[in-house]
Amino acid sequence: MKIDKRHLLNYSILVPYLILSVIGLIVVYSTTSATLIQYGANPFASVLNQGVFWIISLIAILFIYKLKLNFLKNSRTLTMTMMAEVVLLLIARFFTKTVNGAHGWIVIGPISFQPAEYLKIIIVWYLAFTFARRQELISTYDYQALTKRKWWPSKWSDLKDWRVYSLVMILLVAAQPDLGNAAIIVLTGLIMYSVSGIGYRWFSAILTTVTALSTVFLGLIAIVGVDKMGKVPVFGYVAKRFSAFFNPFNDLSDSGHQLAHSYYAMSNGGWFGRGLGNSIEKAGYLPEATTDFVFPVVMEELGMIGACLILALLFFLILRIMHVGIKAKNPFNSMIALGIGGMI
């Protein structure tokens, strides 16, 4: 008996996505319209731009929905996608201007995009494809089935090792430098490794290792001090960010400026908010109020309760995606869903 595919549509994932997208458009208008009016531009310019990408995403969803999953299991399709991604990362690093100190953005006329964002999805797809093909080996040899080759390729065939591919792409992101996205991709890779079918003790080992390394790094910042850590390339910048996280008011003119003003925004919002469009901090006080620090503005305008409802909807979406992954019978389908949910 053939089942109509529309009966398999998961509305508990689709509806929260649509609601969050609409909320996103409203927030984009709220955070950008005043500034655009100040510069004599169309107040709807940013929300129209975001709306275009949302429509593109809906078309992409329809396209993927109509696809047969075997298309994603095609090694040639995956290889071409990964090669295109590597080319885009190289272009972003060596042939683009810096934006906020990094080379991550490719700008073509009115359109700009960040290849690192696509890598988050590609790494899930690639690792799900790789690990799904090794399920029999994993069930017999556990983690050894995923680590049977040497780390450094000694011959051409060793380049097929998933660790080599993953490391190359992560290093290309880190070289931009974009340590935030690189860290997210590394953690997504660890999630994929953990759900690949290896014994649960390896997940515990990974979690313990990450926690221990984080504790050592943060302890080092506290003992050595941010000033001395600041002399170390790359890590000095990270140390300043962590120091600002602990107490942004110690460095209001530099690393703590954004975080301190985000606290002011949350304080202004209280429980029920100042109302849509009534944020004070977005009017030049909070840098990147329309991008990195948009959520404090949401809290200022909608209050703690409004912000918590948005987060609750987001976490519901994540849990539903993961639930699909847990219930899936096919290893590839399961890892795709768990990886996407974990990445979000």
Q: What is the pLDDT of residues 16-38, one digit of tens each?
A: 999 999 999 999 998 888 888 88
* Average confidence (pLDDT) over 52-72: 88
> Which residues on neighbouring strands pair with residue 102, listed in sequence order?
99
Question: Is pLDDT larger for residue 227 or for residue 12?
Answer: 12
Question: Is pLDDT larger for residue 199 or for residue 175?
Answer: 175
Phi, psi of 328 (to 5 degrees): -65, 140
Q: What is the pLDDT of residues 204-225, one digit of tens each?
A: 888 888 889 888 877 877 787 7
pTM (whole model) above 0.75: yes
Q: What is the pLDDT of residues 122-142, one digit of tens each?
A: 999 999 998 888 887 777 766
Is 156's pLDDT higher than 60? Answer: no
Count Cβ atoms within 10 A of the Cβ of residue 105 and give its class: 0-12 exposed, 13-18 middle, 19 or more buried: middle
pLDDT at 152: 46
- Cβ–Cβ < 8 Å for 135, 124: no
pLDDT classification of 153: cutoffs 50, 70, 90: very low
* Average confidence (pLDDT) over 191-214: 84
H helices within the chain, ranges in order? 11-38, 45-66, 75-94, 115-132, 135-141, 162-174, 179-194, 200-224, 226-229, 235-246, 257-269, 294-327, 331-343
Q: What is the pLDDT of residues 274-323, one digit of tens each?
A: 888 888 888 878 777 777 888 998 999 999 999 999 999 999 999 999 99
Mean pLDDT of the residues in the chain: 83
Is 73's pLDDT higher than 50? Answer: yes
Closest CA to 163 of 137, 182, 189, 181: 189
Residue 42 CA to residue 254 CA, distance in Å, equals: 32
pLDDT at 336: 93
Handedness of CA 116, 118, 121, 124 (dihedral sign): negative
pLDDT at 198: 79
pLDDT at 305: 94
Count Cβ atoms within 10 A of the Cβ of residue 85 and give its class: 0-12 exposed, 13-18 middle, 19 or more buried: buried
* Average confidence (pLDDT) over 257-278: 87
pLDDT at 275: 87
pLDDT at 236: 65
pLDDT at 165: 83
* Average confidence (pLDDT) over 42-48: 88
DSSP 3-state of 310: helix
Is 143's pLDDT higher than 80? Answer: no
Q: Which of 77-86, 222-231, 248-257 has maximum average pLDDT?
A: 77-86
Handedness of CA 190, 195, 197, 199 (dihedral sign): positive
